[in-house]
Structure 1
Amino acid sequence: MSISKGVALVTGASRGIGRAIALRLANDGYSLALNDIPCNLPSLTALADEIGCVNVKAVSIAADVAEEEQVQEMIKKTVNDLGSVDVMVANAGILKSTPTLIETSLKDFDDTIAVNVRGVFLCYKYAAKQMIAQHQQRGGTPKGGSIIGASSVTAKQAWAGLSAYSMSKWGVRGLTQASAMELAPYGIRVNAYAPGSIDTKMVEKFAVDNGRDHKEYLAEKAQTVPLKRMGTPEDVANLVSFLVSDQASYITGQAVSVNGGLFFD
């Protein structure tokens, strides 16, 4: 077993962007704690086995990030199994599209906020508490840890039909900025990634839910992007790899766009 670069905890890691981030951080040399909801545990276990093939330790932790006690236990298990939490990637999120604001049910709104906002808040909070404790144990070294959240292009320019989702991702931006200021004294940097349309199962479901053929939808969306292609999960993973690295040591409080030029900020 090679010496670990640190321990990274990635939520929503069973597929899509979360999976790509976990694989990239494993290749970067981090030990991985892989999280998703219990029904996705088989996919997490398979991912842990795949990561093990690159000589990196990985553990699977089933937990609902919207539940406080489960997030606390997730952090505790990560520390018990791997020794620390040096990187937290609060990636887990859901998207429920409806034609208009007035057709959005209260349940869909509450579900979206529970995962996309409360879930990120809980991950930030309990990862930060662990990182602060580690910072103090290590004698207050400048490098205290890195926290990354999942924002979106819709947090910078909202999309029609995604009122609750857009609101939730604006919330991640605000939480990221405030947390970055509060945690800076402990050497903890807090940033977010803000993807445009990324070719994932979530986007496929969005297309199907709106009565669109998936491939036709992707081709159409690609034409709206200056780079004329959809983003991939690996595009986001590449950014996360940079943001948690020493090369990004002067970057905090940012929601960095990964959108092929779709939106400039």
Structure 2
Amino acid sequence: MSNRFQGKVVLVTGGARGIGYATAERFAQEGARVAICDISADAAQSAAEALKRDGGHDAVGFGCDVTDEAQVETLFAQVIAQLGGLDVLVNNAGVTRDNLLFKMSVDDWDRVMNVHLRGTFLCTRAAQRHMVEQRSGKIVNLSSTSALGNRGQANYSSAKAGLQAFTRTAAIELGPFNINVNAVAPGFVDTEMTRQTAERRGIDPEEYKRQRAKSIPLGRVGVPRDIANVVAFLCSEDASFVSGQIIYVKGGPETLR
């Protein structure tokens, strides 16, 4: 493993599990000092301890509700003070409240929109202050193939589509300050969240994965590391001329077979 991020400070929101944790781990393995944020401070701290215990990595956990402006401001002040700066922000925090339109409550809609859109806005706004001053930075937002539309996910699909527009706009505004802003849109990835989705539908999670893999040209579903690898690339110097892009990571165009 290279040391592409040696001396860099990386903040991953929603980093206690799944794609977020895999992303934090990937950066840590390449030398970064990693801050893991999660709505549960205990979960964030446990994840950071796991990185330190299993790989001897430099990691710290913070509790933060990314929809709360005051908590976000405090989070960024703490990260910069404790870790000495901020070079990379990965806006990964997310939730699902799936339901068909006629069953979806206003709370279902608001919670999903707030975490994904308001949360990404608040974190990006806080990060850019520091990044503009230092004239450098990398920001990656987690979108989804659901941004193209998905039954039972009017809230989630709308939020993830909004993140793509936000990404392009932020790239335009922050580019003059040498800040790259991109988004990664995963397809089906085997995480605790997708397993819970299967269980809500009354399907065995392993059978659910097998069903989903049938429409993926590579013949398998994704794993969190697949997404983390692309996020790391976008935050490396190899991608220094890549900005405002939406990278779909889904094993190829979907097929019916």
Report the TM-score, using the length of structure 1 for normalisation. 0.91
AA of the residue aligned to 1:253: G
C-alpha distance in 1 between matches for 2:18 and 2:59? 18
Equivalence map 1:231-246=2 (5 Å):
231-246=222-237
**Are the counterparts in 2 of residues 153 and 263 from structure 1 also a CA contact under 8 Å?**
no
C-alpha distance in 2 between matches for 1:248 and 1:166? 27
Alpha-carbon distance, 1:263 to partner: 4.9
Alpha-carbon distance, 1:44 to partner: 2.3
Equivalence map 1:111-130=2 (5 Å):
111-130=111-130
Alpha-carbon distance, 1:102 to partner: 1.8
**Are the counterparts in 2 of residues 208 and 214 from structure 1 also a CA contact under 8 Å?**
yes
Alpha-carbon distance, 1:48 to partner: 1.6
**Are the counterparts in 1 of residues 6 and 32 from structure 2 also a CA contact under 8 Å?**
yes
AA of the residue aligned to 1:250: F
| Total equivalences in the alignment | 251
C-alpha distance in 1 between matches for 2:69 and 2:151? 31
Alpha-carbon distance, 1:134 to partner: 2.3
1:181 counterpart SS class: helix
What are the ranges of 5 or more consecutive residues in structure 2 without an aligned counterpart? none
Alpha-carbon distance, 1:210 to partner: 1.9
Are residues 1:6 and 2:12 paired? no
What are the ranges of 5 or more consecutive residues in structure 1 without an aligned counterpart? 136-143
C-alpha distance in 2 between matches for 1:61 and 1:45? 7
**Are the counterparts in 1 of residues 91 and 141 from structure 2 also a CA contact under 8 Å?**
yes
Alpha-carbon distance, 1:58 to partner: 1.3
2:62 is matched with 61
**Are the counterparts in 1 of residues 45 and 62 from structure 2 also a CA contact under 8 Å?**
no
**Are the counterparts in 2 of residues 71 and 126 from structure 1 also a CA contact under 8 Å?**
yes
2:26 is matched with 24
C-alpha distance in 1 between matches for 2:193 and 2:149? 18
**Are the counterparts in 1 of residues 34 and 58 from structure 2 also a CA contact under 8 Å?**
yes
2:50 is matched with 50
Structure 1 residues 125, 71: closer, same or farther in 2, change over 3 A? same
Where do 4+ consecutive residues of structure 1 move more than 3 Å? 53-56
What is the aligned-residue RMSD (CA, Å)?
1.6
**Are the counterparts in 1 of residues 145 and 185 from structure 2 also a CA contact under 8 Å?**
yes
C-alpha distance in 2 between matches for 1:262 and 1:19? 26
Alpha-carbon distance, 1:214 to partner: 1.2
**Are the counterparts in 2 of residues 173 and 192 from structure 1 also a CA contact under 8 Å?**
yes
C-alpha distance in 2 between matches for 1:161 and 1:168? 13
1:85 is matched with 86
Are residues 1:191 and 2:191 paired? no
Equivalence map 1:25-40=2 (5 Å):
25-38=27-40
1:15 is matched with 17
C-alpha distance in 1 between matches for 2:43 and 2:7? 25
AA of the residue aligned to 1:145: G
AA of the residue aligned to 2:48: A
Percentage identity across paired residues of the two chains: 38
AA of the residue aligned to 1:109: W
AA of the residue aligned to 1:152: S
**Are the counterparts in 1 of residues 217 and 254 from structure 2 also a CA contact under 8 Å?**
no
C-alpha distance in 1 between matches for 2:96 and 2:242? 28
C-alpha distance in 1 between matches for 2:84 and 2:119? 23
